[in-house]
Amino acid sequence: MVFANSVFMLRPENFGFNEETSKSNEFQSKQDCDLSLVRKEFDGVVGRLSDCGVGVDVLPDDTSLKNPDAVFLNNWFSSHPDGSLVLYPMHNPSRQAEVRQELVSYFKNTYELSNILDLRQVSGGSALEGTGSLVFDHAHNSVFLTPSVRSDLVLAKQVSGQLGYHLVSVCATSSSGTPYYHTNIVVAVGKGFLLSSAECIEKPEVLEQYCSNMGLEWIQLSTDQIENGFAGNALQLTSKNGDPCFVLSQRALKSLDAKQIRRIEKHTAIVSSDVTHIEDIGGGSIRCMLAECFWKKQ
């Protein structure tokens, strides 16, 4: 399976501004959180995906842990077409508690897993935050990384090697001169295309050559679309019937111009949902709320 037809999402019961993570995520905004609005945005995403025929397994939050970023569950685990479950070391202590053993047990008891790779045991204090740090191109056995304090290159080489994937590492710097905290802010792999930027990538020729080699159309974004529109934070999925759907936020869709939209829609339908409150406070968009499920149920 190249693109997942179902996802995991985690219902946010403790969402809010995280002072600790804001030191490395310049997209967070310190403001009062309306939890009822957060829940409405979350349910809106679940509904949009369900309407498009994408399966959604909604996981419960643990209210006792008070994890403000738990809704961004794709950062602590990933599933893979070969049945692997990978657990990742988080950069901040406030996020390390998101790796909950009862959820790992649920995965093991509900889905057919082939093996578990726990990178926390070998991280040496470094961080690699799931499919925030690693953007997989399963069709071409490749994975993208933009190194940062949350996305360690050595760990990325290790996990890509163990999974049998070719690592494509490119440096990406924001308009403020700092590395983007996650790769999935600037790179999204679609069905037949790559959505990214030439402006903020240190060596854009690497992406150009990759697209040429793999037969992908490179749809380029501006730095403004990435930083103010979250346009790079998108995920290609398929419905249970195999229909492709490219998922991004309403803010991201509004930031795209008509030509970019037409180029995307040559390959896939676009599905959007409003997560503005989550974006503003959490500094992540709709892709960060989705963890692909490649596993078969038992």
Q: What is the DSSP letter of 60?
A: P
Give the alpha-carbon dihedral of 56, 44, 229, 196, to 10 degrees.
20
Looking at residue 121, its pLDDT comes to: 87
- 73 phi and psi angles, rounded to 5 deg: -70, -15
Cβ atoms < 10 Å from Cβ of 177: 6
- Work out how many domains the chain is built from and give that number: 1
How many angstroms from the chain centroid is the CA of residue 292? 9
Residue 268 lies in a domain: yes
Give the alpha-carbon dihedral of 201, 271, 189, 68, to 10 degrees.
70
Residue 1 lies in a domain: no
Residue 114 lies in a domain: yes
> Smallest Cα–Cα separation from 17: which of 288, 296, 284?
284
Residues whose CB falls within 8 Å of the CB of residue 38, separated by 6 or more in sequence, listed in order: 12, 15, 71, 277, 278
pLDDT higher than threshold 90 for residue 28 = no
Tracing tokens 């809010």 back to the chain, one arrives at 16
Q: Which of 17-21, 67-71, 190-194 has the lowest mean pLDDT?
A: 17-21
The DSSP element (H or E) to which 223 belongs, if any, is helix 223-229
What size, in residues, is the chain? 298
Q: How far apart are CA 139 and CA 143, in angstroms?
A: 10
- Angle (CA) 225 71 277, round 5°: 50
Residue 79 lies in a domain: yes
Cβ atoms < 10 Å from Cβ of 247: 27
Residue 164 lies in a domain: yes
Residue 255 lies in a domain: yes
Residue 182 lies in a domain: yes
The DSSP element (H or E) to which 200 belongs, if any, is none
Encode pLDDT of 83-136 as tens digits.
999 999 999 999 999 999 999 999 999 999 999 999 998 888 999 999 999 999
Q: CATH number, domain at 52?
A: 3.75.10.10
CB-based burial, 131-167: b 16+ in 10 Å, e otherwise: bbbbbbbbebebbbbbbbebbbbebbebbbeebebeb
Residues whose CB falls within 8 Å of the CB of residue 232, separated by 6 or more in sequence, listed in order: 184, 185, 186, 187, 188, 195, 196, 197, 221, 225, 226
Looking at residue 1, its pLDDT comes to: 67
* Amino acid found at 145: L
CB-neighbour burial class of residue 202 (10 A; exposed 0-12, middle 13-18, buried 19+): exposed
Distance (Å) of CA 232 to CA 10, 20, 119, 287: 22, 24, 26, 9
Encode pLDDT of 132-178 as tens digits.
999 999 999 999 999 999 999 999 999 999 999 999 999 999 999 99
Mean pLDDT of the region 64-76: 96
Helices (H), 52-175: 93-96, 101-110, 130-133, 153-163
Encode pLDDT of 227-280 as tens digits.
999 999 999 999 999 999 999 999 999 999 999 999 999 999 999 999 999 999
* Amino acid found at 35: L
Q: Structural domain of residue 157, as residue ranges?
A: 6-292
pLDDT higher than threshold 70 for residue 286 = yes
Q: How far apart are CA 108 and CA 105, in angstroms?
A: 5
Residue 43 lies in a domain: yes
